[in-house]
Amino acid sequence: MHTQSDESLYHQMRSGDEQALEVLYDKYERLLFSFAHRFTNNDRLSEEVIQEVWMKIWNGRVDFNTDKGKFSSWILTITRNAALDCLRREKRQPTIEVEERDGGYDEPVERTVIQRETATEVRDAVNELKPDQQELIELVYFKGLTQQQISEQLNLPLGTVKTRIRSAIQALRKLLDGRER
């Protein structure tokens, strides 16, 4: 059994191959769900986000090519955009706070616990950043605020925001790289 690259699966899928879609879906299900959940903090919205992502990809409303880098980074970018759109939509709509229903989960608890332990270890990398850098990562990556909003919220001159963000990103990169070793 050989494993096909994401890129070749993507092209097969784009020519209408449903099995290639399923293989890609399986491969990215957990990653995309955890990622979307980090934005929405809600199972239902995360599922909506992921559905939107695959709708866009399957129907060719977004297009991947290798100029755009790795497939994994590309699909995460699409997911992040969909999650930010979803957050903006939710914000615009007056909604009733609904307690998230426990509709049951697909996976055994054991696996989750093991995954969580590994994840916690890595997550410390973000926690090791200076508090203001942690906050910047949060506002830029997970809240999708505009530069103006960040500048106002952190009381920083507009011109300084970009530089600060960049150094926060570089610091995080370094910490994450250190963990991989």
Does 164 participate in binding another protein (rule CB under 8 A)? no
Q: How far is the CB of 97 from another protein (least distance, A)?
A: 14
Length of the chain as a residue count: 181
Which residue in 171, 95, 114 sits closest to 137, CA to CA? 171
Does 9 participate in binding another protein (rule CB under 8 A)? yes
Measured distance CA(131)–CA(143) in Å, rounded? 16
Sign of torsion over alpha carbons 20, 64, 90, 41: positive
Does 25 participate in binding another protein (rule CB under 8 A)? yes
Residue 150's region, left for phi above 0, alpha for psi from -120 to 50, else beta, is alpha
Does 10 participate in binding another protein (rule CB under 8 A)? no
46-105: contacts with another protein (CB under 8 A): 46-47, 50-51, 54-55, 58-61, 69-70, 72-73, 76-77, 80-81, 84-85, 98, 103-105
Using alpha carbons only, give the angle 120, 132, 83 rounded to the nearest 5 degrees.
60
Q: How far is the CB of 73 from another protein (least distance, A)?
A: 5
Does 33 participate in binding another protein (rule CB under 8 A)? yes
Does 157 participate in binding another protein (rule CB under 8 A)? no
Q: How far is the CB of 131 from another protein (least distance, A)?
A: 18
List C-alpha distances in Å: 77 to 135, 138, 146: 20, 16, 17
Using the rule CB under 8 A, which residue among 63, 138, 166, 178 binds another protein? 166
Does 161 participate in binding another protein (rule CB under 8 A)? yes
